[in-house]
Amino acid sequence: MRKTFTIISTAAVLISSCSGPDRAFMAEDWDRVIAEYADDGENVYYDRIARLNLALAQKGELAEKAFSYTQAGSAGLLPEWSPDGENGALLSDIYFAMGYVSLSQRMAFETDVLAPEGHNPAMLARLVQTNLIFGAYKVAEKYIIELEKDPATRAWAQSQRRFLSNDAAIENDPLLSSMRRCIPEENFTSGELGLTDALRAIIKTNPKHRQAIEYLGTLYLLDMDFEAFRAFLDEFYGTEALPELPRAFSEAACMLSEMEHGYWKTVGVSQETYRNFRDFVKRLGTGLSMDRFEDTYFYYVMRANSQ
């Protein structure tokens, strides 16, 4: 798989998606992000595939559809921080989707500090959100005041004032309340834990936050870390966080059955999925076309191991 690395900022995309001050400028059309993604099967730009994966995660489809696209390893799920901060907005969006509020806040702050034109409105808005979630109402108001200065962001900023010093309003807001429930009782600061440990803590704190479980499992799959993925299934399968396996997880469980006969049955994988995997195995090395498996996790592993 030939991989090309490039970095773009998502701030412009976020702001350009707003038709005016009457629309919440932080709104994002995830269906459009998915529909407009171009996959040629060869070149993979880390920032673009990471944004596609974010869109899939926001729709609850990351672990179902990720391998319908040409993936680029874990760097295509979570690109490295760029010293110039150009991908900071994307990273803040990804961490926020995961429920990793403190690290999303840190990325937003650093991205805003590095903004060439003084401020990054999308990241100021993220700082409003994260501080509301943490209950740091005075800090949140500081950023609200800054956003109120711009006609393009004024309406959204003013709409956030109802949350200031109002825990009941936050509890009644689906997004803010869900994110607040992602914060463990003994909260860890951004970067204090490794990402996988942080995601595990988030999942245990808020098992209903689907993005965290999907990001964690997909991270293991992209790195082809089958030992960690097996431990992940042992810990979470059958719990409120993972009552059943989405497609990519099921396909990986079939591969685990090569090492532990019949494992796929213990985690609820369908016979159809397992038969598809066995057909894939039979075709390996035969010279027959593998095209019909292109959207499977086993095909991703095959390509990755052939490089």
Q: Dump pLDDT digits (tens) for 241-298.
A: 999 999 999 999 999 999 999 999 999 999 999 999 999 999 998 888 999 999 999 9
Residue 206 has pLDDT above 90, yes or no: yes
From 153, 152, 150, 151, select the one nearest 126 (Cα to Cα). 153
Residues across the chain: 307
For residue 234, count CB atoms less than 10 angstroms from its CB and return exposed for 0-12, middle for 13-18, buried for 19 or more.
Answer: exposed
- Cβ(54)–Cβ(77) below 8 Å: no
Q: What pLDDT score does 16 carry?
A: 30
How does DSSP classify residue 293?
G
Q: How far is CA 89 from the centre of its chain?
A: 13
Q: Dump pLDDT digits (tens) for 74-121.
A: 999 999 888 777 789 999 999 999 999 999 999 999 999 988 777 889
Contacts of 76 (CB under 8 A, 6+ apart): 44, 46, 49, 50, 53, 222
Residue 123, token pair as written in the block: 């990241």
Q: Where are the alpha helices (DSSP H) in 72-166?
A: 88-98, 101-113, 121-134, 137-148, 151-159
Neighbours of 102 (CB within 10 A): 19
Residue 99 sits at φ, ψ, to 5 deg, of 95, 10
Residue 23 has pLDDT above 80, yes or no: no
Contacts of 105 (CB under 8 A, 6+ apart): 92, 126, 127, 130, 131, 134, 190
The residue whose two tokens read 């799920």 is: 77
Task: Say how far apart CA 244 and CA 210 lie, in whole Å.
Answer: 12
How does DSSP classify residue 296?
S
Bridge-partner residues for 4, per DSSP?
45
Amino acid at 56: L
Radius of gyration of the chain (CA): 21
3 state SS of 4: strand
How does DSSP classify residue 241?
T
Task: Say how far apart CA 256 and CA 7 lie, in whole Å.
Answer: 35
* The model's pTM: 0.89
Neighbours of 304 (CB within 10 A): 15
The residue whose two tokens read 């991270």 is: 219
From 263, 208, 217, select the one nearest 240 (Cα to Cα). 208
* Weakest mean pLDDT among 9-18, 227-236, 290-299: 9-18
3 state SS of 237: strand
Side-chain-side CA neighbours of residue 150 (13 Å): 18
